[in-house]
Chains A and B, each alone.
Chain A
């Protein structure tokens, strides 16, 4: 049953983009007589300005994240957190991924690949890892890009809310997987 749903959703997903690319102009041109080509070009003009406006924000965030990843700070943090994690039943094998997820998309995918290669896709560690990866987003990147695109520097409670949600997501991934597969 679940296999059918997953298969169906993933199969349907392949058609969504082509459908939008054709469906929206089709509605516009046939129902509302919109000059689709002219309007498209008018809207597309903003693509460049927005992409360029993001640069300084993305440089700031990605440099800090890159330094953090390269420094081995993650391992230090891991050692520091290990005793507390054991106490709440959080497998230390899954901690690097949980910490990396909000920082870097490619970094966390690399860590998930390591988990699958090391323990196999059937293992609890891999299942927890895949759940963590799929249930969260790269918070720092999203923040930099979205706020950067409108030149907002004062983000107020956005980061703390995002990181709390990431933490709850990671903990949920652990406990739900333990409950279902453990």
Chain B
């Protein structure tokens, strides 16, 4: 799937670039974005190290396990393949909490920690498991309950008016994400064996 979308985006861009006369900008964007990608990754090193260090302390003190146990009724339904007291559940819960509060800087390292722990349970290392897809779908649909600071800066006093609509819209998209994952995970074209 990603194979076709990735290639399709580039092909469509080159064709569109030729049609609109912006082919030079397309070339420039390709080169610049490859640099940006490395800068973003390198920029993550410090913040990753910070949160992974704190997470290790939380793990060693048993905090992660306590959190995982507390939210068991929800997590066993969303992630039935993951043992309820597995450290991955703790990381998932912490990542989602950070996302809810709009703490993007903390959410990413926590999320990647969760992915690493989910990967330990994965028998086929290059293919996503059901639990990983569920985790990602919830993440990409955003579960933020705080209006992002950038939006507050832009909207000023109007921010309080969009609080309720944002909450409703993000709930709709998260529910959709969960339903779509559950609906598609047993489809043949997305199975672990044939999944692309």
Contacts and interface: CB of A to CB of B under 8 A. Distances in A.
Given A44-B53, A137-B139, A165-B137, A50 B48 contact: yes
A135 B169 contact: yes
Interface residues of B, number: 115
B57 A34 contact: yes
Nearest to A168: B176
B45 to A, nearest CB: 4
Interface residues of A, number: 102
Interface string A36-50: 100111111111101
Nearest to A128: B165
Given A51-B48, A127-B162, A165-B141, A76 B172 contact: no
B56 A59 contact: no
Contacts of B187: 157
Contacts of A139: 140
Interface of B: 1-2, 5-6, 9-10, 12-14, 16-17, 19-20, 22-23, 25-26, 28-30, 32-34, 36-38, 40-42, 44-50, 52-63, 101-103, 105-106, 108-109, 111-112, 115-116, 118-119, 125-128, 132-133, 135-137, 139-142, 144-152, 154-170, 172-174, 176-177, 180-181, 184-185, 187, 190-192, 195-196
Given A44-B49, A134-B142, A147-B136, 11 more contacts: A50-B116, A63-B37, A76-B20, A127-B162, A130-B151, A133-B151, A134-B151, A136-B173, A145-B112, A146-B115, A173-B165
